[in-house]
Amino acid sequence: MCMEQSSLLWPGALPRALEQGGAGRAAQLASLPSAGWISYSLKCDHVTACMQQDSSSCPWECENKGENQNRDLSLKPFISEEISMILGKTPTMWVDQGNYESERSFCLSPSPVGPTQVQVLSQSVAVTQHQAAPNGERPYKCMECGKCFGRSSHLLQHQRTHTGEKPYVCGVCGKAFSQSSVLSKHRRIHTGEKPYECNECGKSFRVSSDLAQHHKIHTGEKPHECLECRKAFTQLSHLIQHQRIHTGERPYVCPLCGKAFNHSTVLRSHQRVHTGEKPHECAECGRAFSVKRTLLQHQRVHTGEKPYTCSECGRAFSDRSVLIQHHNVHSGEKPYECGECGKAFSHRSTLMNHERIHTEEKPYGCYACGKAFVQHSHLIQHQRVHTGEKPYVCGECGHAFSARRSLVQHERIHTGERPFRCSQCGKAFSLKATLIVHLRTHTGERPYECGRCGKAFSQYSVLIQHQRIHTGERPYECGECGRAFNQHGHLIQHQKVHRRL
């Protein structure tokens, strides 16, 4: 049964610290409504002291009888709201400052000869930290929300959620906490202490709950199952996050742009778009990233690590998302379809990029020259034109590239790999783009049309060359004689004339 809490006083048995407030105030305290028996409890971390002057009439008895029972105590304040009004003090805690032989000396239990009825004087609490209710009862009730607790300490801890009180402060960074145990865990961030070690792999953790979660990796235990798709998880928080895929719930909203997310960590990462914060820096090249996962992915450029391998063809990738996209090459699955033209894609992000062709949206602008791009990756690659950065280096010949794609294509020169095969004639190519162009020789498709004369071409580059007939542009100039050409191939052919002379 959940009871309301009370601060109780024994008339005429006030502590000396209270009597210092004067006879008038003592009289006021003694005049508070009572039903004969009223007990005033003093709270320490582990000690409750009986303050009755006449121990024979005290309704509480010490478990170690006779030891320090009438000791004159030095107290710090804890008082109920009524008492605080009389004393003119802010409600706080009377804490015993005395030195005792043992905590047990002042641990009290109800006396069998004591009274059974007391009068509730206050909704404030003066209960012992260690006091627990028997038989699973929850007698300590929060007056704010009605929630009940079996221990008074749990109630006091809970009440801080309403008051916002955070009395435990980290001496290193100043961060405050409502519980001392949480502060103790937090301190390990500064000390580096990881006292909980896995007996399987030796990995250490700051918090015991993290070790318990980690153990499930070894046992394979996944106790939290999604009722929609039956997917199982090791942690309840992971299940809750997963369920938002089915419900569409996005409870974490960016206050700056209103964009919503299904997880708080994703929101925090997104907010760095606005702040420009990039806390994760590469130790090799100094490049910084807003998300740790992106840093880990980037570091594989330097290490050459490719931990994600395709089970179909054995091809390895440095990023899991790229492997997932690659799987669709084998399955042929293209679940994402454009509502404008009906073109289908194997990945949602590819569809989103494609849709900008129709909307002509180019949200990513270069800070150096103002040029805008459909994709963020294209902007990053373009910016290397200004910075001269070439982070992708060939392990065979040392040739460096500004784009990862260019390195992958280049490496096929050394390996001789031609992964893109024509289904019509069996011819293989090292580049997917080359295969697409080749397929048009079979289909007769010419998607690139000249706006001047209507002539169509199978390749975009050929259309650009053709348009120079109309514009008169000749960008390729001979360094020997200054003659200019509209195609690079024509310049190469011309330069042979000088070499023969």
For the chain, the domains span 16-162
Report residue 101 as tokens. 């032989």
Looking at beta carbons, which pairs linking 320-326 to residues 24 or more positions away fall under 8 Å? 325/350
Sole residue written with tokens 């002042």 = 106
Map residue 30 onto helix, strand or coil: helix
Tally of CB atoms within 10 A around 97: 10
pLDDT for 70 equals 35
Instruction: Give the C-alpha separation, 87 to 9, whole Å.
Output: 15
Q: Is it the case that residue 63 has pLDDT exceeding 90?
A: no
- What would the mean pLDDT of 492-497 be, rounded to a whole number? 90
Contacts of 306 (CB under 8 A, 6+ apart): 300, 316, 317, 318
- Tens of pLDDT, residues 206-251: 888 888 888 888 888 888 899 988 888 888 888 998 898 889 899 9
Tally of CB atoms within 10 A around 155: 21
Task: Give the residue from 56, 3, 9 showing the smallest Cα distance to 34.
Answer: 9
pLDDT for 60 equals 37
> Phi-psi bin for 207: left (phi > 0), alpha (psi -120 to 50), beta?
beta
Contact 261, 245 (CB under 8 A): no
Tally of CB atoms within 10 A around 62: 21
Report the Cα 490 to chain-centroid distance in Å: 57
pLDDT for 444 equals 93
pLDDT for 116 equals 29
Instruction: Give the C-alpha separation, 389 to 383, whole Å.
Output: 9
Instruction: Give the C-alpha separation, 330 to 332, whole Å.
Output: 6
pLDDT for 102 equals 30
pLDDT for 254 equals 92
Report residue 201 as tokens. 């792999």
Instruction: Give the C-alpha separation, 281 to 327, whole Å.
Output: 31
- Tens of pLDDT, residues 450-482: 999 999 999 888 999 999 999 999 999 999 999
CA–CA distance from 392 to each of 318, 404, 408 (Å)? Answer: 13, 6, 9
- Tens of pLDDT, residues 144-155: 899 998 888 889
Which residues, listed in sequence order, are joined to residue 75 by a DSSP beta bridge? 96
How many C-alpha atoms does 216 have within 13 Å on its Cβ side?
13
Tally of CB atoms within 10 A around 226: 16
pLDDT band for 501, please (50, 70, 90 cuts).
low
Verdict on whether the full-model pTM lies above 0.75: no
Separation of first and last alpha carbons in the chain: 109
CA–CA distance from 77 to each of 16, 43, 98, 154, 169 (Å)? Answer: 12, 10, 14, 21, 21
Instruction: Give the C-alpha separation, 382 to 321, whole Å.
Output: 23
Instruction: Give the C-alpha separation, 51 to 232, whole Å.
Output: 57
Contact 450, 456 (CB under 8 A): yes
pLDDT for 103 equals 31
Tally of CB atoms within 10 A around 289: 19
pLDDT for 424 equals 92
pLDDT band for 323, please (50, 70, 90 cuts).
confident
Instruction: Give the C-alpha separation, 61 to 64, whole Å.
Output: 9
Contact 46, 75 (CB under 8 A): no
Instruction: Give the C-alpha separation, 230 to 224, whole Å.
Output: 9
Contacts of 144 (CB under 8 A, 6+ apart): 159, 162
Tally of CB atoms within 10 A around 361: 11
In 58-156, DSSP assigns E strands to: 60-62, 108-110, 140-141, 148-149
pLDDT for 217 equals 83
Q: What share of the chain is helix, strand, coil (3-state, %, to 5)?
A: 35, 15, 50
Residue type, 273: V
Instruction: Give the C-alpha separation, 75 to 43, whole Å.
Output: 10
Instruction: Give the C-alpha separation, 159 to 42, whole Å.
Output: 19
Q: Is it the case that residue 109 has pLDDT exceeding 90?
A: no
Task: Give the residue from 129, 160, 128 showing the smallest Cα distance to 50.
Answer: 128
